């Protein structure tokens, strides 16, 4: 992911000063432990300013309104209590060529600032701090103790320390070509690398953009450039410094990311914020999805291992109880042949009246035959009681295994996407696991989940996967267990057909039909292919798929989300390889 560099930060601040100064602070909301949103209001309208100190995506730009979930972070509450109702009077950098933005707040735009909200955009050292007029830190997003950093500890109540100066010389527009060339070529190396090491304010993406803009290879050794090549690179260098000085930026997309100085076709300064919002929103959402998918997957795998181990123990006990009738039969044989028993006898020869064959029953010299028979009868009764107790427990564990396997399949499929719908569906899975007793109560953005009384059945917030059959019929697929239940018990009509991979964890699939409409064979085959694709059989060649009318699908009392039983089913063979990966909305 391309980090926000000094040039991007200057462009973002310039765009904010152009249309959002002054602005009154109406609300402060912390979206997660790395992102703060300020609700601003100007004479022209309202908007939300995003301040993010994420290690890979620290940035400053206008964004969407935050979610309606409760804000449980302390930092945002402290910021809100101090700056709500004040005017955002100035947005500036704390020092030349420094990636620290100072957002100043005052009672009126023309009065001195009472509060400073500093956003430090410095990679893994990024941070946000609220500082008063006396330059004392009142609140900080991430405190740094002296044990963590002897160079720059950050603690509330202490004076705000400016970051250490970055290495490299400060770029100057009045620098001659000869001076600039000598500085860059002081230690020869790959061209893009020596540019970054020689001067401040250059990121890897910007250095490569300048070199490629001059028609050169970023890996070209700096000591092999000809005078015309040095001149071409110096021209790009001067254009970059002129853009910074005049705040004339051209944001746009590149093959590997974005640019704010070389967009083609060039776009206005007002497009800086939409560009940053889209780029980092997509990349960080994909990062959050992968992170949360890994956490939930690990949690489900641990629970599934425990459930399988528990089921194996129950099956062992049931297997032991299979010999209960034999214990009773042995007791009957001993009682029927008491006249053959003698003290000290180790085996009792008997005629098995069930098979008609001779049989030897082992005896215990310390017990009489009657005592031994009574012990066998007691063991028979104990094993019978064990079976009656274990069978419902095994059924419950088997249902738990089915549920966890279904969730595991859902997580694997959601982890391959990166859309907003996938993120919302994954959050629904996390909430579902928490309500089912498998969660830690912490969301992907580090806010606690709220446990509801009972298991609340509610509509999913995301849309289904949608396909279209060869004859134009719609095929809908649930993204998670909440959507599976919605699809089967809320959306399905009496005319639709319900599909599911037979005895295989997978999604519920609905073939949508109009009243009186009869699907063609190729439509049924296509729906079966979709059902097999959205199941654990996705990597195989063929898989059995059952289909029936939705009215024949039932949810047992107390069953976990997504688990159903069905009847009057018919079977088709689905081919998951016939389904191309869907371009998710």
Where in the chain are the domains?
6-166, 177-267, 278-456, 463-578
What pLDDT score does 302 carry?
93
Tell me the CATH number for domain 177-267. Answer: 1.10.8
What pLDDT score does 455 carry?
46
**Residue 510 to residue 500: CA distance in whole angstroms:** 9
What pLDDT score does 367 carry?
83
Q: In Å, how far are 30, 153, 157, 268 from 146, measured between CA atoms?
A: 27, 5, 14, 44
pLDDT digits 0-9 by tens, 452-489: 444 444 555 568 899 999 999 999 999 999 899 999 99
The number of CA neighbours under 13 Å toward the Cβ of 500 is 26
What pLDDT score does 462 carry?
67
What pLDDT score does 395 carry?
86
Which alpha helices (H) appear in 247-368, and where do they start and end?
272-321, 324-336
Beta strands in 33-133 (DSSP E): 35-41, 46-52, 59-63, 87-93, 100-106, 115-120, 127-132
Question: Which residue bears the tokens 């032991």?
Answer: 320
Note whether 460 and 425 are within 8 A (CB). yes
CB atoms within 10 A of CB 322: 10
The set of residues, in sequence order, having a beta carbon less than 8 Å from that of 390 and lying 6+ positions away, is 314, 317, 318, 321
What pLDDT score does 240 carry?
93
**Residue 332 to residue 314: CA distance in whole angstroms:** 29
Q: At 185, is the secondary structure helix, strand, or coil?
A: coil
The set of residues, in sequence order, having a beta carbon less than 8 Å from that of 368 and lying 6+ positions away, is 341
CB atoms within 10 A of CB 585: 11
What pLDDT score does 453 carry?
43
Beta strands in 144-303 (DSSP E): 252-253, 258-259
Q: What is the CA radius of gyration of the chain?
A: 35
Q: At 442, is the secondary structure helix, strand, or coil?
A: strand
With a cut of 70, which residues of the chain have pLDDT below it? 265-268, 322-325, 327, 415-418, 440-462, 582-585
Note whether 130 and 115 are within 8 A (CB). yes
CB atoms within 10 A of CB 544: 16
pTM for the model stands at 0.74
What pLDDT score does 241 carry?
94
What pLDDT score does 342 carry?
78
CATH 2.30.310.10 for the 6-166 domain, yes or no: yes
What pLDDT score does 442 carry?
57
């Amino acid at each position: 992911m391309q980090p926000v560099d000094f040039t991007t930060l200057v462009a973002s601040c310039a765009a904010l000063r152009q249309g959002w100064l002054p602005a009154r602070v109406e609300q402060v909301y912390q979206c997660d432990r790395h992102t703060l949103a300020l609700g601003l209001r100007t004479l022209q309208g309202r908007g939300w300013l995003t301040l993010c100190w994420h290690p890979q995506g620290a940035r400053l730009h206008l964004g969407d309104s935050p979610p309606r979930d409760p804000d449980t972070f302390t930092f945002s509450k402290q910021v809100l209590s101090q700056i709500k109702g004040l005017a955002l009077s100035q947005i500036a950098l704390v020092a030349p060529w420094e990636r620290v933005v100072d957002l100043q707040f005052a009672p009126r735009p023309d009065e001195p600032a009472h509060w400073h909200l500093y956003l430090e955009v410095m990679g893994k050292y990024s941070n946000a701090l609220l500082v008063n007029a006396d330059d004392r830190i009142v609140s900080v997003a991430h405190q740094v103790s002296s044990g963590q950093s002897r160079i720059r500890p950050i603690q509330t109540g202490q004076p705000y320390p400016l970051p250490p100066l970055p290495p490299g010389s400060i770029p100057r527009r009045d620098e001659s070509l000869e001076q600039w060339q000598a500085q860059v070529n002081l230690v020869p190396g790959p061209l893009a690398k020596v540019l970054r090491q020689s001067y401040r304010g250059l990121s890897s993406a910007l250095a490569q953009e300048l070199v490629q803009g001059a028609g050169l290879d970023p890996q070209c050794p700096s000591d092999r450039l000809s005078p015309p090549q040095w001149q071409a690179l110096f021209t790009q260098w001067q254009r970059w410094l002129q853009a910074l000085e005049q705040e004339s930026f051209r944001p746009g997309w590149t093959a590997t990311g974005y640019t704010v100085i070389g967009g083609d076709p060039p776009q206005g300064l007002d497009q800086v914020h939409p560009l940053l919002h889209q780029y980092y929103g997509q990349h960080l959402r994909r990062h959050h999805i992968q992170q949360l998918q890994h956490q939930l997957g690990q949690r489900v795998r641990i629970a599934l291992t425990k459930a399988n181990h528990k089921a194996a123990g129950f099956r062992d006990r049931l297997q032991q109880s299979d010999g209960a009738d034999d214990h009773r039969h042995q007791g009957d044989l001993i009682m029927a042949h008491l006249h053959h028993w003698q003290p000290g006898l180790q085996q009792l020869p008997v005629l098995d009246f069930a098979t008609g064959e001779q049989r030897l029953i082992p005896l215990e010299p310390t017990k009489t035959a009657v005592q031994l028979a009574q012990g066998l009868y007691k063991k028979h009764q104990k094993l019978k009681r064990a079976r009656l107790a274990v069978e419902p427990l095994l059924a419950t564990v088997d249902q738990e295994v089915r549920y966890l396997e279904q969730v595991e399949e859902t997580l694997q499929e959601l982890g391959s996407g990166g859309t907003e719908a996938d993120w919302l569906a994954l959050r629904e899975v996390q909430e579902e696991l928490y309500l089912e007793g498998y969660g830690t109560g912490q969301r992907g953005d580090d806010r606690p989940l709220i446990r509801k009384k009972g298991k609340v059945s509610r509509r999913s917030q995301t849309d289904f996967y949608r396909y279209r059959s060869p004859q134009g019929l719609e095929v809908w697929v649930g993204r998670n267990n909440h959507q599976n239940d919605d699809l089967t018990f809320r959306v399905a009509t009496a005319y639709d057909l319900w599909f599911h991979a037979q005895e295989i964890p997978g999604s519920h699939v609905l073939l949508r039909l109009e009243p009186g409409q009869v699907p063609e064979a190729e439509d049924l085959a296509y729906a079966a292919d979709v059902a097999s694709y959205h199941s654990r059989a996705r990597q195989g060649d063929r898989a059995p798929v059952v289909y029936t009318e939705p009215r024949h699908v039932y949810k047992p009392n107390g069953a976990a989300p997504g688990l159903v039983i069905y009847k009057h089913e018919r079977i088709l063979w689905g081919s998951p390889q016939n389904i191309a990966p869907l371009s998710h909305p």
